[in-house]
Amino acid sequence: MIVRRRRGEFLTVWRQTMQGEHVDFHGKHIDVTGAKVPTLPVQKPYPPLYFGGSSPAGKEVGAKHADVYLLWGEPPAIIEKKISEMKEKAAVQGRQLKFGIRLHVIVRDTELEAWNAAEELIQYVRPYVDSKKGLLNLILQQLKKHKRACIKVQKSEIHLKFLLIFGLVLV
């Protein structure tokens, strides 16, 4: 909750300063007097804010502050549900969101080469994920179980505060 409030306060100040305003803001976490940006951005009224967060707090911040809400590569039904939810949350704030998605596509000559390339990419997060009750192994088992029915297989795994997405194109 503290992070959401701090992030929300920061984004409030950021947006106002990017619009050329001199900002006095006295929040619980951020306190500024006469904040301004000496050189305004080219984008008007301010640079678009791309934001992604799937926690309840992240969704609230995204609905209130984001211009483009970023989604991860997940099954289409989950993406559809998140878009609907975020549209509703943004509407409550009197806002409309655009949406973006991040996918990591791995293309190799063979399916085995694609899987090996994916394994190489995730080797750096494997110790962390494996320590979380075998989450990575569970994800890999599910992917291998369903890959025969798919041309595109998507996998998500959590690493600290980052979500890494691997969209595997199997040929």
Instruction: Read off the pLDDT of residues 66-119 as tens digits, 9 standing for 90 and up.
Output: 999 999 878 888 899 999 999 999 999 999 999 998 877 888 888 888 888 888
Q: Taking the model in full, what pTM does it have? A: 0.60
Tell me what pLDDT residue 110 has.
87
Using the predicted structure, report yes or no on whether residue 2 has a pLDDT greater than 60: no
State whether the Cα torsion 112-170-114-168 is positive or negative: negative
Instruction: Read off the pLDDT of residues 24-43 as tens digits, 9 standing for 90 and up.
Output: 999 888 888 988 888 888 88
**Tokens matching residue 160:** 């600290």
Instruction: Read off the pLDDT of residues 125-144 as tens digits, 9 standing for 90 and up.
Output: 655 555 544 555 555 555 55
Tell me what pLDDT residue 87 has.
97
The ranges assigned to domains in the chain are 1-47, 48-102, 105-169
Helix (H) or strand (E) holding 156: strand 152-159
- 21-to-39, 45, 48, 61 alpha-carbon distances in Å: 12, 11, 17, 22
Task: Give exposure, 25-45, as e/b (b: 16+ Cβ within 10 Å).
Answer: eeeeebebeebebeeeeeeee
Residues 6 or more apart whose CB falls under 8 angstroms from that of 8 comprise 61, 64, 65
Using the predicted structure, report yes or no on whether residue 10 has a pLDDT greater than 90: no
What does the pLDDT average to over 150-164?
A: 33
Using the predicted structure, report yes or no on whether residue 124 has a pLDDT greater than 70: no
Residues 6 or more apart whose CB falls under 8 angstroms from that of 101 comprise 70, 71, 72, 73, 79
DSSP string of 76-145, one letter each residue: HHHHHHHHHHHHHHHHHTT---EEEEE--EE--SSHHHHHHHHHHHHTTTHHHHHHTTTHHHHHHHHHHH
CA dihedral 33, 38, 41, 45 (to 10 degrees): 40
Tell me what pLDDT residue 83 has.
95
